[in-house]
Amino acid sequence: MAVVALLLIAFVVQTARTITTGSGALRLVVTGLSAYVASDLISGVVHWAGDTLGDESVPFVGPNFIKPFRIHHVDQLAITRHDLIETNGNNCIVVLGPLAAAFLILPSRDGWFFDACVFMAFLAVFVVATNQFHKWAHQTNPPRIARVLQASGLILTTPHHDRHHAPPHDRHYCITVGWLNPLLDFIGFFRGAEWVITQVRPHWLHAGARVPVRAHPGHPGGSSPAARAPAAPGRSAEIRSPRGARTSCRDRGASVEGGGLTLEGGCRGPSPPLPSSPPRPASRAGGRPPPPRRLELSLPGMPSFDVVSKVDLMELDNALHTAQKELAQRYDFRGTNTVIERTPEGILVRTSDEQRAAATLTVLRERMAKRNLSQRCLDPGDVEAAGGKTVRQLIGIKQGIESETAKKIVKNIKDRKLKVQAQIQGDELRVTGKSRDDLQEAIQLMRAGDFGIDLQFVNFRD
Ligand SMILES: [Zn+2]
Ligand SMILES: [Zn+2]
């Protein structure tokens, strides 16, 4: 880091010596600006690659670059706990070589070659700064300089970056300033890159098959691309579409926390191990619902998937965090010591009075909507007096498919005479069929029907 700083100082001195004219200074500004945009693009490509390609077992790159990106979706705030070295060390190492090379060949005369070297120096600065800007975008209280730069739109802002952190994390990858994000998203830059990868090195894409397909009837944008992908007979692309490949470890973390879903393999490679489970007993006496996911119901070779209704707890926590942040800044909440947090029983709101409890719930609902999280999982309890001038409200989090709803879904599938079998397993469903087309049809049917809860389609098996 010190070496990088020294090199940069040397660059500044040398540049000040070489550039003496007004037009030279103008070219310097243009060079700087183009390096800034280039850094934005690089940050986007590296981030996309980290989110999308390979896994943590890749030598060197895996633990140093892929893992941090994936952890970042699970624990967004970890980055804010990193010190200066942790935040910027890796990028310093990356830029050191090119920066030193640029300095060694830096000519003493003005000209295009000089500009190219200066461009390299600018690029090094911005690449190193990117992690810092990203960190600031996640901080509740970034330093003053960061707030000024954010307010003027010169570096990455929190609302802009939030759009990447909203599921399914497939846009707004650029994290230096994000100027390029609208353009790259508009032209489908990263979707194109994913398509290219599926053509040349499909195994590089990490675990598309287990991506949970979200079904938010109220949010067309919340539905997973995998479900929208056209069914292609005989090809796995219908479920493992290139876009479906964007399983993120955030999903893994959420699911593990949400009750041990088997998405864990999803971050480890294209063929996650299936849970080793005993064969289904021929008959079950007693009528006790089978423990979820412990039984392998599908026949070998029969494609199947599971239907679950789980709340993405990591995303919920992120929504809670931003809600808390907003409440802390709101004038009308000053001095109320309002707290909104997740407890084992649900979401607990503590505040000064009933009115503010209602306002807190509204803020939470807004924050959840922003993250494409359905609010149908919320089950608000009564506001109770909690001693002194405080009240508390417990908001339950509904998880799983209730048996009545599950029966309704099964009946719906039977009525439509689809060539699939749907079986209730605890608070989940397993759908088995001979072909993926049939499964695709079942997914579409379930997405179209409104069963009063949100459904996710997970654990696709061939
Ligand atoms: Zn990401
Ligand atoms: Zn981030």
pLDDT digits (tens, 9 = 90+) for 29-83: 999 999 999 999 999 999 999 888 887 778 888 887 788 888 888 777 878 888 8
Cα–Cα distance, 413 to 442 (Å, whole number): 7
Cα atoms in the 13 Å half-sphere on the side-chain side of 53: 21
For ligand 2, the distance from its centroid to the CA atom of residue 134, given in whole angstroms, is 6
Q: Which of 178, 147, 184 is nearest to 161 (CA)?
A: 178
CA dist., res. 356 & res. 349, Å (int): 10
Given a cut of 60, whether residue 108 has pLDDT beyond it is: yes
By mean pLDDT, which of 74-78, 124-128, 169-173 is the weakest? 74-78
**64 CA to centre of ligand 2 in angstroms:** 16
* Of 237 and 425, the one with more pLDDT: 425
Ligand nearest to the CA of residue 138, numbered in listed order? 2
Range(s) of the chain covered by CATH 3.30.70.990: 313-397
pLDDT range class, residue 459, cuts 50, 70, 90: confident
Please tell me the distance from the alpha carbon of residue 53 to that of residue 248, in angstroms, as a whole number.
11
Average pLDDT over residues 333-350: 89
Give the model's confidence band at 206: pLDDT under 50 very low, under 70 low, under 90 confident, else very high: low
Higher pLDDT, 373 or 175: 175
- Tell me, what's the pLDDT at 261? 29
Residue 150 has pLDDT above 90, yes or no: yes
pLDDT mean over 288-308: 58
- Percent of the chain's residues with pLDDT above 70: 79
Centre of ligand 1 from the C-alpha of residue 37, in Å: 19
Q: Kindly identify the ligand whose nearest atom is closest to the C-alpha of 130.
A: 2
* Residue 422 · residue 320 · CB < 8 Å: no
User: Closest ligand to 248 CA?
Assistant: 1
Q: Does the pLDDT value for residue 279 go beyond 80?
A: no
Say how many Å lie between the CA of residue 115 and the centre of ligand 1.
33
Q: Which residues surround ligand 1, an ion (CB under 5 A)?
A: 51
**131 CA to middle of ligand 1, Å?**
13
Higher pLDDT, 387 or 218: 387
CA of 318 to the centre of ligand 2 (A): 12
pLDDT tens digits, one per residue of 224-264: 333 333 333 333 333 333 333 333 333 333 333 333 222 33
Q: What separation in Å is there between the alpha carbon of 133 and the centre of ligand 2? A: 10
* 435-452: average pLDDT: 84
pLDDT, residue 185, reads 93
Q: In angstroms, what is the span from residue 308 Cα to ligand 2's centroid? A: 28
pLDDT at 404: 87
* Domain range 206-279+289-310+401-461, CATH class: alpha beta
Q: What is the mean pLDDT of residues 123-147?
A: 91
Q: Determine which of 36-50, 143-157, 199-213 has the lowest per-residue pLDDT on average.
A: 199-213
Calculate Rg over the CA atoms of the chain: 26
Tell me which ligand sits closest to the C-alpha of residue 51: 1
pLDDT for residue 300: 52
Nearby residues of 310 by Cβ (< 8 Å), 6 or more positions away: 254, 255, 258, 259, 261, 399, 400, 456
- The ligand with the least distance to the CA atom of 47 is 1
Which ligand ends up closest to the CA of 162? Answer: 2
d(C-alpha 314, C-alpha 214), whole Å: 15
Q: How many CB atoms lie within 10 A of CB 45?
A: 16
Tell how far the Cα of 136 is from the centroid of ligand 1, in angstroms. Answer: 16
**pLDDT (0 to 100) of residue 129:** 92
- CA of 173, nearest ligand number: 1
The CATH 3.30.70.860 domain(s) of the chain lie at 206-279+289-310+401-461
Q: Give the model's pLDDT for residue 452.
A: 78
365 CA distance to ligand 2 middle (Å): 22
Q: CA-CA distance, 316 to 368, in Å (whole number)?
A: 7
Ligand nearest to the CA of 71: 1
Q: How far is the CA of 78 from the centre of ligand 1 (A)?
A: 14
Beta carbons within 8 Å of 426's beta carbon, 6+ residues apart:
289, 290, 291, 292, 293, 400
Assign 349 a pLDDT band (cuts: 50, 70, 90): very high
Q: Which ligand is nearest to the CA of 157?
A: 2
CATH 3.30.1200.10 applies to domain 313-397: no
Cα-to-centroid distance, 104 and ligand 2 (Å): 35
Ligand nearest to the CA of 178: 2
Most confident of 64-73, 348-357, 430-439: 348-357
Residue 301 has a pLDDT of 63
What spacing in Å lies between the alpha carbon of 278 and ligand 2's midpoint?
Answer: 41
| CA of residue 272 to ligand 2 center, whole Å | 26
Run of H or E including 304: strand 304-308
Please name the amino acid found at residue 193: A
